[in-house]
Structure formats: structure tokens, C-alpha cells
Amino acid sequence: MSEPINVFQATRKHSKTGNLTFLSTQVAQWQKLTKMIQPLLPQPEQWQVVCYQSGVLTITGENQAMISQLGYLQKPYISQLSQLEPLKDLHKIQARLRVKSQKISEPSQPSRSINTETQNMLRHAADFVSDPKLSQALLRLASNKKE
């Protein structure tokens, strides 16, 4: 078996760790790989390459079902992706869940009142509960009192 080639090797020796130029080059290479593999992987998902080293491609997605599908059907995807020149030594795909980016917004105000039917149900439930603290909490909830 041939020695695996690391696609993201530095083109020159760096005296400092964390060299911004080298990291920018790596990210650009991952973005190119992402564009190459995107149409070949399960859809609809926005896959993102986060690493390719020693024949192991690590990608992320936001949909757990798509990630699981890729895991179960890894062999056909490996054979298809390994036909691409940069991934010719590919032998394993690691798919990880990527947390969706969330915009920070103002907290929404909770509803101020509970309808009458729900209040009655909470009061009846409080009568049947043997735990006094839980019963009291249900009655407080039914009356919409704030602590």
C-alpha cells in the first residue's frame, strides 16, 4: 500500500506555530474540497470538510439523519469520492454533527394568562397529587401568581 499523502502540508517551514498564512491556506483547501464533495454526498445537506489527513475525511452536517445515512452507506461514498484526485487515498469518512448557528435574540415574553380550562385541570390535578409541594406548585401555576 502506498504511503498516504497529506494534502495540507505546509509549503515552507514556519518558525511560529499558528501561522495565519498556513491556516488560511488550509481553510481554503477545505473549502475547495467541500465544493467538490457536496454534490456527491446525501442531499439535502450542507456538508463541510473540517479535516482530511491520512486518508480520513472528517466532515460535518446539521442533520443527524443525513449523518447516520452517510455512516451506514460509507463504502459506496468512499469509492465514489476516492475517484477525485485530492481524495485518492480516502479510506474512511467521519461525519460529525455541526450545531446550527443561532442568532441571539431578545427573550420572548411568556404568555401572561392561562385559559380557564387549563386552570381548572391544574387545580383538579393538585387535588389528586399526594406531594404537598407539587400540589402547591400546581395551584400557584393555575392562579398565575409569580414568585
- 131 in a structural domain: yes
Q: How many domains does the chain have?
A: 2
* Statement to judge: residues 28 and 72 lie in one domain: yes
- CATH code, domain carrying 50: 3.30.300.180
- 7 in a structural domain: no
| pLDDT per position as a tens digit, 1-34 | 566 666 665 555 555 555 778 778 888 888 888 8
| pLDDT per position as a tens digit, 120-130 | 888 888 888 88
* Statement to judge: residues 57 and 83 lie in one domain: yes
| pLDDT per position as a tens digit, 68-101 | 988 888 899 999 888 888 888 999 999 899 887 6
The mean pLDDT value for 110-116 works out to 70
- 11 in a structural domain: no
Task: Give all strands of the β-sheet with 56-61 in edge-to-edge order.
Answer: 48-53, 56-61, 92-97
* Statement to judge: residues 92 and 24 lie in one domain: yes
Q: Which of 54-58, 65-69, 129-133 has the least mean pLDDT?
A: 129-133
| Contact status, residue 75 vs residue 45, Cβ threshold 8 Å | no
* Statement to judge: residues 93 and 125 lie in one domain: no
Backbone phi and psi for residue 96, each to the nearest 5 degrees, phi listed first:
-125, 155
Q: Which of 4-13, 40-49, 57-66 has the least mean pLDDT?
A: 4-13
Give me the helices (H) in 6-131, please: 20-37, 64-72, 74-81, 116-128
- 3 in a structural domain: no
* Statement to judge: residues 91 and 33 lie in one domain: yes
Query: Which range marks the domain in which residue 27 is found?
Result: 20-97
Packing angle, helices 74-81 and 64-72, rounded to 10: 80
